[in-house]
Each structure stands twice: as C-alpha cells, then as structure tokens.
Amino acid sequence: MKVLLADDHALIRDTLLAYLEKEEDLEVVTAEDLPAAVVQLARSGPFDVILLDYAMPGMNGLEGLTRMRALTDAPVAIMSGSATRRIADEALAQGAAGFVPKTIGAKALIHAVRYMGAGEVFAPVQMLDTQVPGAPDALAEKLTEREREVLEGLCRGLANKEIARDLGLQEVTVKLHVKNLCRKLDAKNRTQAALLARDAGMF
C-alpha cells in the first residue's frame, strides 16, 4: 500500500512516518505542504491513501481537500492535532476518507490507513474536541515563561541537551520543565505538546 503523507511540521511528519514505515507493506512518500503534495502526486503516484495536515500551508481550511480530491481517485484524509468536531464533520461531508487525530497511537494510525485504503471512512469522533482548543494566549497562560521557552525548543525539534545549551540550563532542569509543561497541556509526551502548541499558533 502506497501512502502520501503531507505535514509542514518536520517533527510530526517524521514521527508519523516512523509509525507507518515499520509496516513492511506500507510505502510512504512525504511532502511539507499542499503544493509539494500535489507535486508528489504527479511524480510518485498513484497512491492508495493520502493524508493531509489540516493546518499546513496551501490548505486554506478545507479548500486543500477539495483540490486534492479533484486530482485523484485515492482516499484523501485530513489529519489534525487540535481541530474541532465541526471541522471534522465538514471534512467528512466534503468527501474526506477520514479525519485522523495526530495524537492517536501507532497501531491506531496504521489501522486507520488500512481501513481507508479498503474504501472505508475513518472517523473516531469520540477522540475529537467538541470545542475550539486553547488559543495561543490560553495555552501560554498555563505555562511559566521558562516553560514557554522550553516548549518553543520542542517545536523546533531540539533535543533536551540543545535546549539546555540555548537557555543556559542544566539538561535535568529542561527534562523537569518538559514534564511539567506536558502535564499542564494534558499532553502525553513532548511530541504531542509541540503539536498542540504548533496547531494553536503559539510559535
């Protein structure tokens, strides 16, 4: 099965890619935005499933979904880390093959891809927020200034050691800040914390 994965955030893209590439029968091609995804469709297609990040450049909301569906017969799904139930419903109503929360685990992601590749619609609505997630200010208010600085480093894909060097801190102190900010943002790990901050427009 051949999958096109498009997401402008390298950390998230690489994480999802790692999940999928563990499956021997899945071949994954990546793109950093919608224009690049269109190029990959022409260059490397056809694909069995296409995954598009809702917030990446070129999407303009769900216009990107419409554009991609006009170019291919393959199932096209929307991915998001913090979209609302309303957006999910609109995507499905406009013909999306699924709405995939980027916070789902590896097994669930693989299941979703196979499910959509088989012609089914993947819509785990119970996993979607019913309200607009924290805006930048709302998320920032939960964190101390130092935690926000560490979070910015996470969003840049830096390791704890690199963040510690940039901020003049001990690595163990950075680890503590990561643990605290994950707890405050209700994030399972550093990747999800970066995803929430990025999708909320904090950085």
Fold classified for 2-127:
Rossmann fold (3.40.50)
DSSP type of residue 116: H
Does the pLDDT of residue 133 top 50, yes or no? no
Beta bridge partners of 78: 52, 99
Average pLDDT of span 28-56: 95
Q: What is the pTM of this model?
A: 0.65
Instruction: Lowest mean pLDDT of 91-95, 122-126, 166-170, name the range.
Output: 122-126
Q: Can you give the pLDDT at residue 141?
A: 76
Residues of the chain within CATH 1.10.10.10 domain(s) are: 136-199
Confidence of residue 104 (pLDDT cuts 50, 70, 90): confident
Residue limits of CATH 3.40.50.2300 in the chain: 2-127
Tell me what pLDDT residue 127 has: 46
pLDDT at 129: 45
Between 138 and 2, residue with greater pLDDT: 2
Q: Which CATH number does 136-199 carry?
A: 1.10.10.10
Question: How many whole angstroms separate alpha carbon 123 and alpha carbon 91?
Answer: 10
Tell me the C-alpha distance between 203 and 151, whole Å: 9
- What band does 34 get if pLDDT is binned at 50, 70 and 90? very high
197 pLDDT band, cuts 50/70/90, is confident
Give the model's pLDDT for residue 88.
83
Query: What is the pLDDT at residue 136?
Result: 52
